[in-house]
Structure 1
Amino acid sequence: MSSGPSSVSSPRPSPAPEPLANPAFVLATASATCALIVLDTNVVAVSLPSIARSFHASFADVEWVVSAYMVAFAVCLLPAGALADRVGRKKMLLLGLAVFFGASLGCGLAPSAAVLNIARAVKGLGAAMLLTAALAVIANSFHEGPARMRAWAVWGACMGVATTLAPLVGGVITQWLGWRWIFLLNLPVCAVLAWCACQALLESRNPKPGPLDVAGSLLFGLALALGIWALVEVPADGLGSWATGARLITCVLLFGAFVQLQRARAHAMVDLALFRQPRFVAAVLAMFGYAACAQVMMTFLPLYLQNAFGLSAVAAGVGMLPFALAMVVGPYIGAALAKRIPAMSLLSAGLLLIALGNLLTAWMASGQRYAWVALGMIVTGLGAGILNGDTQKAIMACVPPERTGMASGISTTTRFTAIVTSVGVLGAVLAARTHAAFLASTPLTPGVKAALDAGFMSGVLAGDTERATADLSPVVRSTLAAAAHRSFADGFAAALCVAAGVAAAAAAGVWLLAGKAERVRVSEAA
């Protein structure tokens, strides 16, 4: 989740704060708060098979562990930024820590998958409050010049370290302490951060905050949640079922109502006029492609490594390091290339790298040779690293200073909306292809046919093959387990091919929009 500085609070200037007693303490507190969100966003993926085994959860339940958090996060970012301007950034950060603390406790003690997913949604709300407040604190405390540059550099380094360590931390905690401690260990961290915030931060707020768009937030949130619900339930309900159709139609209607509301409002949550600028649309498209086709791998790679290779949680965390380390190196390559090629060309190149990396990983996924899969991860990670900061910079470069808050909110909301949408779409592809590959490769003896009930494949997809085959004879169990590993690898490869196609299409779209923007600029100059 690491990216360039992006505050989603109102762009109107705040009064200059009082001199800080210890600016380093302020920066450390705000950066650590953002790092906590990055860890929590990425660390959970490694524990998904363990959660599935603990609750005997379906694949849809496992998807909702990620999606419930992401939907709430994406929906609440813009209103949380506006609210922080009203009530104060310090107060919002402390309130966010309280919500995050309570939701983490609920996750750690959850008696069922349904309760866990509800707590995860509440946690997404807390994370949105924390991110908007922490970024606003940094922006308000370090105004300009070298101090501001150093502050954002330190913040970016913290995000990079958190992103790199998240899979390994998740694997170690899951295997040695149990998945519940992924959430329970947040409690002392939240307490320490709350104490630091009370000691270090001065209160700041916008004296002329913009209006809260409650109706717009509700419409966008309901539309997104219904769309993800439809996608997540496709493996169970079917793409052509009335339930899926009703959810998708309602999603489209609600989103249309949201757009109409934004067009009618004098002070809209989203200024739709920005989307008439080809360069802005290209930058947002690049952000969507990056998040949907690269960042989403933080969810699916741990499932693949554990289900297809049979790795432990710790080994899966270590196995993801090539991807995470490449994401850290990528921005430096992007910075060097930015001196030689135009910004939009760099975005297209990053998306093409992601497409190439996904195709390479897909090509090697079924062969189950980790070294070649790791090479594909590195290529994807390099493309993701190039785009990680440059997408944000490209979006911010397209708008005047007074609109940077709104543009940053659009950018961050696009990122998480893309991730959660991609989890639903790629999850449906993964499920369908895994099921088809399993049926095609498994000898349908009477014992095997009897085992293939409705919950079997869902358990396999969720990483709970052991439970799915627990009541079978040793011979049938061994046959089905081997077939399940191969089939999941085939399903993962199919999902990666779809992601590669989307990334390539996004690269072409960015290229074409950039060309259109250049033609408009030339004609206006003439």
Structure 2
Amino acid sequence: MIVTLACLGQFMVLLDVSIVNVALPSIQEGLGFTPADLQWVVNAYTLTFAGFLLLGGRAGDLFGRKRVYIAGIALFTLASLAGGLATDPGVLVAARALQGVGAAALSPATLALLTTTFPEGPRRTAALGLWSAVAGGAGAVGSISGGVLTGYLSWRWVLLVNIPIGIGLIIASARALQERRGDGPRRLDVAGAITVTLALMALVYGIVSTANYGWGDARVLVPLIAGVALLGLFVAIETRFAAVPLIRLGVLRSRSVTGGNLVGLLMNAAFLSMWYFVSLYLQDVLHFSPVKAGLAFLPHTVMVMVGARLSSRLVHRLGHRPLILAGALSAFAGFVWQAQMTPHSDFLLMVVLPGILMSLGVGLVFTPVAAAATSGVAPADAGVVSGLLNTSRQMGGALGLAVLTTLSTARIHAESTGTGPTAGAMVSGYSLAFVVAAAFVAAGAISALVLPRHRN
């Protein structure tokens, strides 16, 4: 039951990273988003998710993982209701941000429940493999269900669908979970959480602004400098001022923890773009309906889950690094292949086949990264280390999407005519995004060399 609830909670959290992607064109039309602002429907969620994950992980350690798990689901569900009923862009973005806060409380608890229930060894790896398969599959399932819900009902249902799921999880968790928490004072480093969240938002805003202004423009430099300064302030708060730090920076001395988080950050910078840009390509260039575009991700879903299950069985024999490198190689080939698309590409040749390679890579990487980043960690730090891993993934996804969207938008504007972006211009922009995503994957593979040579 613990494994089931952990997997379902993580599934719902990561589902909402991707479920809106297929609905983005409908959301843009329905609420009047500009092309540059549309990404905030995704990034408002991923940024608050990333920024408050450490706080959510520490809250679970101190106040009890069952209590924080249920509170996170409740906030997530209420925010989903507000977003589903939104009538203007600002309300939807605010609701997505609140969803991210709820997810930040919920997600670390799901992984901490597993790492504190199962000691290191085959049983924990099997549980992590299932958790990773569900987490990895959530991205593809989100694209499919988002297309079906948008096509047959409305884009609003990509958010409203969370309400019955959330209510069911609250009831089941209240009955089945036992309270688990660490020792120590029940004090939270709220200042640290707010500081790191504002830092991420400032960095992403600065990167996004380069689509309209030059890198030397004050409207770009000010938020970028502010973001770096806030990150420095966050480190100062954690090392000098916080009575109970959000994260003990000493855990970063572990090569497994540091290497696992670095790999997770770089890989997710590429992986999130796969759902985003393929969805736009299918609908804006190939003119797929939302339902057809959603169903087009079915092969992606299958291969993510195949890769995750395969890696959970092989990680004992091969160790972390070989599986991460194998997954990176598969994903790299898929991203480079996807970058060769044209306005009239064959669906099987230029969407399904590269998608299989990219998705297999996603699945192969998830389990060894999770196992590496949580190995050798004391139970009292299980929640915050779980939050750190999810923070790295979501921060990578948010910053990666900001960089890729900015580069893609600039390329599209440069090649568009006076009547608006052509199919050729859009494809050129999306192709550039996939080339840069492949570079992120390559950097992630190189970062895996930091991991120690041991088998979990």
Give the structure 2 partner of residue 343 of structure 1: 320
The answer to whether structure 1 residue 286 and structure 2 residue 286 are counterparts is no
Residues 136 and 411 of structure 1: CA distance in aligned 2, closer, same or farther (over 3 Å): closer
Question: In terms of mean alpha carbon deviation, does 209-218 or 136-145 score higher?
Answer: 136-145
Distance 2:310 2:6 in 1: 27
Give the structure 2 partner of residue 446 of structure 1: none
TM-score by length of 1: 0.78
The percentage of counterpart residues that share the same residue type is 33
Deviation of 1:305 after TM superposition, in Å, equals: 1.3
Residues 68 and 202 of structure 1: CA distance in aligned 2, closer, same or farther (over 3 Å): same
Residues 200 and 149 of structure 1: CA distance in aligned 2, closer, same or farther (over 3 Å): same
The answer to whether structure 1 residue 108 and structure 2 residue 46 are counterparts is no
| Residue ranges of structure 1 left out of the alignment (5+ in a row) | 1-23, 440-448, 458-483, 522-526
Deviation of 1:216 after TM superposition, in Å, equals: 1.6
The one-letter code sitting in structure 2 at the alignment partner of 1:42 is S
Secondary structure of 1:371's counterpart equals: helix
Aligned-pair Cα RMSD in Å: 2.8
The answer to whether structure 1 residue 407 and structure 2 residue 345 are counterparts is no
Distance 2:277 2:270 in 1: 11
CA offset digits 1:484-515 (Å, max 9, x no partner) = 2221111110011111122213323433x35x
Decide whether the 8 Å contact of 2:132 with 2:363 is kept in 1: no
Distance 1:399 1:65 in 2: 35
Counting matched residue pairs gives 452
Distance 1:154 1:262 in 2: 34
CA offset digits 1:334-380 (Å, max 9, x no partner) = 35654664532432332232222111110235552222222111111
Distance 1:281 1:161 in 2: 25
The one-letter code sitting in structure 2 at the alignment partner of 1:489 is V
Residues 137 and 390 of structure 1: CA distance in aligned 2, closer, same or farther (over 3 Å): closer
Secondary structure of 2:182's counterpart equals: coil
The answer to whether structure 1 residue 84 and structure 2 residue 60 are counterparts is yes
Give the structure 1 partner of residue 154 of structure 2: 178
Decide whether the 8 Å contact of 2:57 with 2:386 is kept in 1: no
Secondary structure of 2:70's counterpart equals: helix
| Residue ranges of structure 2 left out of the alignment (5+ in a row) | none
Give the structure 2 partner of residue 129 of structure 1: 105
Who wins on radius of gyration, i.e. which is larger? Answer: 1
Give the structure 2 partner of residue 492 of structure 1: 430
CA offset digits 1:220-248 (Å, max 9, x no partner) = 11100111111223223343321111110
Partner of residue 48 from structure 2, selected from 61, 69, 72? 72
Pairs within 5 Å for 1:145-164? 155-156=131-132, 158-159=134-135, 162-164=138-140
The answer to whether structure 1 residue 420 and structure 2 residue 383 are counterparts is no
Give the structure 1 partner of residue 445 of structure 2: 507
Distance 1:72 1:415 in 2: 13
The answer to whether structure 1 residue 197 and structure 2 residue 173 are counterparts is yes
Decide whether the 8 Å contact of 1:334 with 1:346 is kept in 2: yes
Decide whether the 8 Å contact of 1:293 with 1:354 is kept in 2: no
Partner of residue 39 from structure 2, selected from 50, 63, 72? 63
The answer to whether structure 1 residue 225 and structure 2 residue 197 are counterparts is no
Distance 2:117 2:185 in 1: 18
Deviation of 1:215 after TM superposition, in Å, equals: 2.1
Give the structure 2 partner of residue 298 of structure 1: 275
Distance 2:278 2:327 in 1: 20
Distance 1:336 1:154 in 2: 11
Distance 1:433 1:348 in 2: 31
The answer to whether structure 1 residue 327 and structure 2 residue 265 are counterparts is no
Residues 145 and 425 of structure 1: CA distance in aligned 2, closer, same or farther (over 3 Å): closer
Question: In terms of mean alpha carbon deviation, does 254-263 or 285-294 score higher?
Answer: 254-263
Distance 1:235 1:215 in 2: 31
Secondary structure of 2:188's counterpart equals: coil
Pairs within 5 Å for 1:227-266? 227-264=203-240
Distance 1:30 1:393 in 2: 16
TM-score by length of 2: 0.89
